[in-house]
């Protein structure tokens, strides 16, 4: 379903961009000193005077361009940005590492919070530790990440006159400075994601700990670490991995908001700017990259099932 899914995504994204009110010509003519620009000439130069499916076919690469050549998604060409007059792939190449670093750090922090607390909560069912852990999980689910991020920016500025740097520090230039810049937004994202994973980990651990083979492991005199990690956790992780895979789209949506709040020049800010400018090639290019990433991550989640549970076979 990889190829059909991506084809459907391209058609939906391309269609929604063209259904949105206004276009890039309106944004261009709204700029100071742009009164002398000729709208019909701009529309012809950008191909906006062509029918919808002709434009879609040229963007995809199965309809020839005006000069007779084929260039589009099928040829690995994401076209040029209408606004920046730069290849979309170059803009994506600059923004993608920022989003990947932020998303990966947020995902790791979410699991570092969720898995240990979820396991501990299951092992201490209906005790004070369990009540505190469950309340903490509900708190993480209930508090919006964008509000926490805003408070993290606003409160230090009001109380201590401190504002985080808005200049991107490359990891290759200053690894420590780069991590300091990303750690706070990553924690905000990780907290927003960790609550659901924590609750699912607790639920599945409780279910697995009641199984007969776990009782047998205890009866054989195995150590608690071996019973919990080797026997219980591995089987409890299958639904947890599913939840993590489902949360990836939420993670991507979160990067859009968090990047905007913390002024990180990633794919989220790039896509928001492209939407405001109605830059169709840039919007569609960013969405295609997101779609490919989501499909690949779902494939990795499916393959992980086979590792965690030998009964799962791929044919």
Does residue 33 fall inside a structural domain?
yes
Residue 310 pLDDT? 64
- Write out the residue range of the structural domain in which residue 305 sits: 1-86+271-315
User: Same domain for 169 and 295?
Assistant: no
- The confidence score (pLDDT) of residue 150 equals 81
Inside any domain, residue 67: yes
pLDDT score at 312: 63
Could you tell me if 149 and 261 lie in one domain?
yes
For residues 63 and 125, membership in a common domain is answered with no
13 and 149 together in one domain: no
Q: What pLDDT is attached to residue 17? A: 82
80 and 59 in a common domain: yes
How many structural domains is the chain composed of?
A: 2
pLDDT at 96: 86
Cβ atoms 113, 137 nearer than 8 A: no
36 and 10, same structural domain? Answer: yes
**Other CB atoms within 10 A of residue 123 CB:** 17
Q: List, for residues 276-300, the tens digit of each pLDDT value.
A: 888 888 888 888 888 888 888 878 8
Helix residue ranges per DSSP H, 278-313 = 280-308
Looking at the fold, whether 199 and 127 belong to one and the same domain comes out as yes
pTM of the model: 0.78
Residue 91 lies in a domain: no
User: What whole-number distance in Å separates Cα of residue 104 and Cα of residue 19?
Assistant: 34
* Statement to judge: residues 190 and 229 lie in one domain: yes
The CATH number linked to 192 is: 1.10.3720.10
Is the same domain home to 191 and 225? yes
For residue 96, the surrounding DSSP H or E stretch is helix 88-123
In this structure, is residue 153 part of a structural domain? yes
Report whether 47 contacts 58 (CB < 8 A). Answer: yes
In a domain, 280, yes or no: yes
- Counting every residue written for the chain, the total comes to 315
Q: How many angstroms separate the CA atoms of 188 and 116, rounded? A: 18
pLDDT value of residue 308: 67
Residue 276 included in any domain: yes
Q: Are 281 and 81 in contact (CB under 8 A)?
A: yes
Assess whether 82 and 118 both reside in one domain: no
Give me the residues of the chain with pLDDT under 50, please.
Answer: none
């Amino acid at each position: 379903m990889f190829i059909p899914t991506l084809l459907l995504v391209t058609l939906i994204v391309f269609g929604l961009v063209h259904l949105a009110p206004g276009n890039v010509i309106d944004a261009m003519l709204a700029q100071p000193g742009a009164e002398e620009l000729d709208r019909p000439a701009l529309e012809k130069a950008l191909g906006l005077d062509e029918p919808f499916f002709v434009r879609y076919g040229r963007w995809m690469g199965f309809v020839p361009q005006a000069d007779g050549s084929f260039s589009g998604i099928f040829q690995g060409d994401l076209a040029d940005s209408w606004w920046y007059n730069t290849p979309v792939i170059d803009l994506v190449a600059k923004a993608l590492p920022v989003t990947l670093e932020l998303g990966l750090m947020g995902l790791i922090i979410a699991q570092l919070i969720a898995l240990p607390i979820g396991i501990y909560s299951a092992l201490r069912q209906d005790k004070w530790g369990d009540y505190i852990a469950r309340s903490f999980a509900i708190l993480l689910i209930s508090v919006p990440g964008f509000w926490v991020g805003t408070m993290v920016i606003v409160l230090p500025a009001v109380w201590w006159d401190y504002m985080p740097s808005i200049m991107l520090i490359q990891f290759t230039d200053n690894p420590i400075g780069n991590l300091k810049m990303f750690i706070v937004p990553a924690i905000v994202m990780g907290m927003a994601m960790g609550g659901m994973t924590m609750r699912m980990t607790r639920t599945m651990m409780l279910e697995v700990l009641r199984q007969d083979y776990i009782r047998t492991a205890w009866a054989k005199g195995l150590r608690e670490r071996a019973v919990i990690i080797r026997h219980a956790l591995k089987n409890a992780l299958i639904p947890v991995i599913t939840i993590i895979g489902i949360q990836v789209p939420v993670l991507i949506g979160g990067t859009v908001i968090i990047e905007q709040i913390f002024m990180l020049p990633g794919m989220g800010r790039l896509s928001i700017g492209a939407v405001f400018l109605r830059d169709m090639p840039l919007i569609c290019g960013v969405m295609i990259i997101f779609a490919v990433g989501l499909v690949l991550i779902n494939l990795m989640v499916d393959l992980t099932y086979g590792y965690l549970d030998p009964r799962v076979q791929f044919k």
